[in-house]
Structure 1
């Protein structure tokens, strides 16, 4: 009899637990629907019962955290999760973490949604943190751009985008983004403050090859830029001297050859040639 009573209690618990959980889920879904209707009116849905049923269905599919995501995501959240189809669980995660900004800056933008699905939660974070900047930069730089933007604040995110569209447009984007990903705001501040110097190319190459000495102040990027200008100029001067010497040698050999063949030039001829040069 004791065993039967224990089995009966266990059976009752097994029956009651999902029932109680279902009731709690339904109550939470209705509360979320009422809150959305109170805040957004008809934008949230046609009626509280209809919206409650949709939220409860999402929660049954993706877990009770989906109800929290619906509350945080605003009036468009439910439709965005439903539109995500097989990626609905990922959409719920974005809403749960980023709320309405996740809805407006990630889930409702096709390119941003594609980037999120390709590069994961870090991409969603930078798309929310750097609106208007992250999407085109990630499109160009991929995962490296996600890492770089994840390491900087919004102001330096805008600066980085402007640099890569302006003074540093010809730079090697993977190398540049890699330095920013590693050194964050410090790197972007340096690039921004020295963008005129770095635009020359040689100084930027030296910085990207070994950024630490320049970021720490141990080396001056202006001196590297000066070297990249002086060396070509000096090399050009020596090139002109070499050409002049070469031409002089050719002329001298020609004069010696003529003198050997025809004898030394007469004084009148030399004077005539000198008078031509004087003119």
Structure 2
């Protein structure tokens, strides 16, 4: 066990809220390093690391062995719900962490979802890329939405990183690739604006119009408010026009029929709406 006691654990990755579709395997990993002044024999390879899953997929817990660089990678399939994952060096192979067995420096969260939207791409003005975007957002079985999404204004290098979600809804026509009951997703979330660190509330619409997504799929995005509180309405169109309710704070009253949102066709990339029928 001496070799294990001279080893330092890093965090489990991915560290952020990781959204994964049901039915497709996904990986988590952790890196081990030698403690300074404590050489750990010829290599960090071959160390047994047990990944402990707490949640609906607890039965998928298992062991992975480090490669020569000290990285242990674990892959598994999950059912809907949230898993909490941590890891430790299982030196004696008894599947129980002893007090002298190092563990990961964090507990990672992995969300398995059946209904979600994912994608990434860019928008060009001529040959110049003006906007890029990427991320995934899903609906949890108990309700609520989770994920991460980022929009970058390439002309100013302003980055909007959304990490908390209020709602995700689906509408529109059926989609065929992948098969989905609707082809459009709309979500509202809160994130950070890079230039000043302000928390902003952003509304995004993604439309999946088949494969490939280039020159077919569409996006619109708009900042609904900056900062917290009902009085901080500050509508800022980013891509196209979403026409959020904040555009019409009373008085005057919102129009009976708000104008339709104006989406922009992406120049590259792909958007996929996975609003799958329940089994």
TM-score, with length taken from structure 1: 0.25
TM-score (norm 2): 0.25
If you compute each CA radius of gyration, which structure gives the higher value, 1 or 2?
1
Q: Larger helix proportion, structure 1 or 2?
A: 1
